[in-house]
Amino acid sequence: MEKLKDLRRRRVLTMEELAEKAGVGRNTVWRLEHGIMGAQPRTVRKLAKALGVEPEELVKTEG
């Protein structure tokens, strides 16, 4: 999820800060940013809320 990394950096958040804000583990954020695992819909919603975007923004692909 390259978009996740981009949005996190734009908001000047560390992985730890985003994880805490979203209520997910830091390792979850790391794995998603590095493409090691796919996100469950609930996790996408939590991360999107923490970043102040719609969930669709995190999962849309660059065309």
Q: Is residue 22 part of a domain?
A: yes
Q: How many domains does the chain have?
A: 1
Q: Is residue 30 part of a domain?
A: yes
* Residue 60 or 9, more confident: 9
Q: Is residue 61 part of a domain?
A: no
Confidence of residue 2 (pLDDT cuts 50, 70, 90): confident
Q: Is residue 28 part of a domain?
A: yes
Q: Is residue 21 part of a domain?
A: yes
Distances (CA, A) of 45 to 53, 57, 63: 9, 10, 22
Q: Is residue 39 part of a domain?
A: yes
Q: Is residue 59 part of a domain?
A: no
pTM summary value: 0.90
Render pLDDT for 19-60 as a digit per residue (tens, 0 to 9): 999 999 999 999 999 999 888 999 999 999 999 999 999 887
What DSSP letter does each residue of 23-37 carry, written as one string?
TS-HHHHHHHHTTSS
Domain that holds residue 11: 2-52
Residue-level pLDDT at 63: 54
